Amino acid sequence: MAEMMADSEMVAGTAAGVAEAAGTRSAHKITLIPGDGIGPEVSGAVVEILEAAGRATGVSFDWHRFDAGADSYEKTREYIPKALYESIEANRVALKGPVTTPVGGGFSSINVTLRKKFDLYANFRPVKNLPGLQTKYPGIDLVIVRENTEGLYVGLEQEIVPGVATALKVVTEKGSTRIARFAFEYARKIGRKKIHAIHKANIMKKTDGLFLTCAKRVAEEFPEIAYAEHIVDNTCMQLVMNPWQYDVLLTENLYGDILSDLCSGLVGGLGLVPGANLGTECAIFEAVHGSAPDIAGKGLANPTALMQSAVLMLRHIDEIRAADLVQAGIEDVYRAGKTLTRDVGGKAGTMEFKEAVLLAMEAHGAMEAHGVMEAHGAMAAGAVARG
């Protein structure tokens, strides 16, 4: 399980190192779902950044691209093409842009379907300030560990009679115990000190009650990590008043979704916060944000959240140098504060921001100047040729 976790602080395994020592490094096969809305814009930027980081650190990628959702349905009459399932199954790692879920009707969420299909039970979302970015809450460093397969997301809804609809909330001992164990093992490995289980067990006595019972039981195996329980509505208030009290938030599915957006707001917004969906076999890396239809196609989207998700992915596949280089590039651009996107108070578009990160990676010194400049030149030439 340890290698399924990903965080800038996680110690990675050695698969890549062994292959490197043997001089047999092959391209990482990654399933890429660009998504829709702002998805293609942000994922395009991220792929360019990863390619540049790869050239600088001797890593190569073999991208297997797939549409999903409405775009896929138009072409194949399948919301999630069979070939996409097979690709994730074979590659075991995917990078995913947002895919729009219709509100109130239409097809089921592609995101939720993929998480359930591959039993990606842990949604891991680190929330941290970026250097140089002024926010109302400096010094935030917390992690949301969200149960990703149960709760109200099981999709068991029905209209009993016209005017009366119900939804089933499913909580199991197995699901609650494994997500609690994930959170505590992560905390132990990284040295995080405190876990808060977030609940509404005063009202949902059986479901949230079971979630808490399991969390409490697992907590007993980790005496060095402080354990507390907060009711979800109080947690919202606490996060606004004093977010620094939190270290790891262990949540069931819906509360984790809502608290993720709230926590994104603490550090500068949805454009920044990354995520990983982790299971025992596969992992899908995606930002917290959705498809942002209000800014789609305008070149305004902030690709930072997906870039930082890609950093989590690079650590997951043991490409630590490439991960460090991308993260350093992102942080240098924020530190300089000159080429930021509008959502964080700047004037730059997606492409300008991406170019700034490429240059920062080069200037950071970990990249072979020629590799980047040639790539840059080729991209610029390509853009001119296309333009």
Catalytic residues: 153, 200, 233, 257
Choose which of 259, 305, 313, 348 interacts with ligand ATP (CB under 6 A).
Answer: 305
Q: Which stretch binds ligand ATP (CB under 6 A): 126-134, 209-217, 224-232, 286-294?
A: 286-294
Closest residue to bound ligand ATP by CB: 290
- Work out how close the CB of 294 gets to ligand ATP at its nearest, in angstroms, rounded to a whole number: 5
Contact between 271 and ligand ATP (CB under 6 A)? yes
Greatest extent of the chain over all pairs of C-alpha atoms, in Å: 68
Write each residue from 10 to 39 as x if it is in contact with ligand ATP (CB under 6 A), else as -, in one continuous string. Answer: ----------------------------x-
Write each residue from 77 to 116 as x if it is in contact with ligand ATP (CB under 6 A), else as -, in one continuous string. Answer: ------------------------x---------------
- Which residues within the stretch 241-270 sit at the binding site for ligand ATP (CB under 6 A)? 261, 270
* CA-closest candidate to residue 323, choices 1, 46, 94, 27: 46
Q: What residue has token string 């360019």?
A: 48
For ligand ATP, the closer CB: 254 or 373: 254
Residue by residue, DSSP assigns 126-158 as EEEPPTT---SSTT-EEEEEEE-SSBGGG--EE
For ligand ATP, the closer CB: 247 or 261: 261
Question: Could you give the 3-state DSSP secondary structure of residue 243?
Answer: helix
Write each residue from 310 to 349 as x if it is in contact with ligand ATP (CB under 6 A), else as -, in one continuous string. Answer: ---------------------------------x------
For ligand ATP, the closer CB: 224 or 294: 294
Q: Which stretch binds ligand ATP (CB under 6 A): 5-13, 44-52, 145-153, 291-299?
A: 291-299
Write each residue from 120 to 159 as x if it is in contact with ligand ATP (CB under 6 A), else as -, in one continuous string. Answer: ----------------------------------------
Residue 307: in which H helix or E strand, if any? helix 304-316
Residue 205: in which H helix or E strand, if any? none
Q: Which stretch binds ligand ATP (CB under 6 A): 239-247, 298-306, 318-326, 371-379?
A: 298-306
- Work out how close the CB of 302 gets to ligand ATP at its nearest, in angstroms, rounded to a whole number: 4
Cα separation, 380 vs 195, in Å, equals 48
- Work out how close the CB of 56 gets to ligand ATP at its nearest, in angstroms, rounded to a whole number: 25
For ligand ATP, the closer CB: 292 or 358: 292
- The tokens describing 189, both together, are 């490995």
Cα separation, 288 vs 211, in Å, equals 23
Question: Could you give the 3-state DSSP secondary structure of residue 214?
Answer: helix
Angle between helices 304-316 and 39-57 (to 10 degrees): 40
The 10 Å Cβ neighbour count of residue 22 is 8
Contact between 207 and ligand ATP (CB under 6 A)? no
Choose which of 57, 291, 309, 339 interacts with ligand ATP (CB under 6 A).
Answer: 291
Q: Is 132 left (phi over 0), alpha (psi -120 to 50) or beta?
A: left
b/e sequence 72-103, b meaning 16+ C-beta within 10 Å: beeeeeebbbeebbebbeebbbbbbbbbbbee
Q: What residue has token string 């926590």?
A: 263
Question: Could you give the 3-state DSSP secondary structure of residue 312?
Answer: helix
- Work out how close the CB of 36 gets to ligand ATP at its nearest, in angstroms, rounded to a whole number: 11
| Residues at the interface with ligand ATP (CB under 6 A) | 38, 42, 101, 261, 270-271, 289-292, 294-295, 301-302, 305, 343
